[in-house]
Structure 1
């Protein structure tokens, strides 16, 4: 698949949402920030990072197929409705997503302390709330590892066998 420019660190902390005239946050993105890991790469790597890091297993699993199909439909619009001009199929996008997902799933556990570590220092949160945040992160990682294992035992088994992942 042809490479595209990739943000490299796509998560909610790097997305700024628009604010309306009443100073309410809108669903419109105002800016995407923190571009120091910009690189050339897979069309699906930013999507995989966003879904793995920003949603729990239930949300991620429900969003994956819809997001890939939506991405493809947006590409079709960009190419004037001519699907023959799109440089990849939805099947290729799904395979690229699966590769990117595996990478992000393995990063998730290492990054849990980075994302949830500052919560332990917040004095306004009681210990139960802090533990709930921590449990949320652990559950998110567990779901990601379960899905990674399913991929590596199923449709990506050749990579498991080849590299012993």
Structure 2
């Protein structure tokens, strides 16, 4: 069994087109830019696919997000760091199962407000809420079993 990633980006016409993971990896690690994305924010579909590449592969995870590129076409490192920081802050109120002994209720209220604000900011800056047709289009392009017509019935949409 294999596990691999596939990416789709929304082009200027609104269609979802493939973005090879090797190209995205090089733009992310600073070794080769994607000049056509320079200075842009693109809507990205990231999929994890598990199974045999030739016959029984299935989309197991599907994420819709915004990805920012710097003026040269590399993944914007500052935006990436901000996203990670917001992700960590957004779950701060869920990470601590045992409160510190000296913590009072106002500490938890403050933590909860900060985490909620981080979640809201994360959604505003990096979230992409696709329309149902966009989700279906992504699944149609990404799910090999669906393309071959070997899976009966409707396909679950993963978030």
Same fold (TM over 0.5): no
Q: Greater CA radius of gyration, 1 or 2?
A: 2
Please give the TM-score of this superposition, normalised by the length of structure 1.
0.31
Please give the TM-score of this superposition, normalised by the length of structure 2.
0.31
